[in-house]
Amino acid sequence: MKKTVRDYIRTIADFPHEGIMFRDVTTLFADARGFRMAIDQLLHPYAGERIDKVVGLEARGFILGGAIAHQLTVGFVPIRKKGKLPGQTISQAYKLEYGEAIMEIHEDALQPGERVLIVDDLLATGGTCEAGIKLVERLGAAVVGCAFVVDLPELGGRKLLERLGMSVHVLCEFDGA
């Protein structure tokens, strides 16, 4: 039987809290075939489209985004948690389940008119990606799409991003949080 990307992802019960089914993509990253499959499938919908930069969301989005940027022969831009980037940054607050967090990007990371693909491992509520979209747009760049390995549809992130006018591409879904 041919394996899918979903087959490479392990589920860990009760991590980081009781009742959470954690979708661990490190097992996907550790397998050369699985990782290659994921990168190829994340890129597929954007074949032939102009993409100037790939933006990865902290932290597993860096792994995927770096590989995708390499395949596209374009630059990679990290969006990080507040205080992690040196130099001048702009920031965007977003809501977490309990409280708020802040993401940052270098103020010179993107140029007006550049076309950007945003990448992360998992789409849950969509808050982190929404903050990333706002940062990209504040720098004058345009988001071509948002690509994820895993979607947790019950948490509504895809619907949020689509309401913002984003094209969303996911490789697999898992029920539950």
Active-site residue, 130 included = no
Between strands 115-123 and 53-57, the pairing is parallel
Q: Distance from CA of residue 71 to its chain's centroid?
A: 17
Active-site residue, 173 included = no
Given the residues 18, 50, 97, 100, the one annotated as active site: 97
Cα distances (Å, whole numbers) of residue 81 to 34, 74, 75, 118, 144: 28, 23, 20, 16, 23
Question: Is the previous residue joined to 131 through a cis bond, with omega within 30 degrees of 0?
Answer: no
Given the residues 23, 60, 80, 158, the one annotated as active site: 60
**Among all residues, which ones are annotated catalytic?**
60, 97
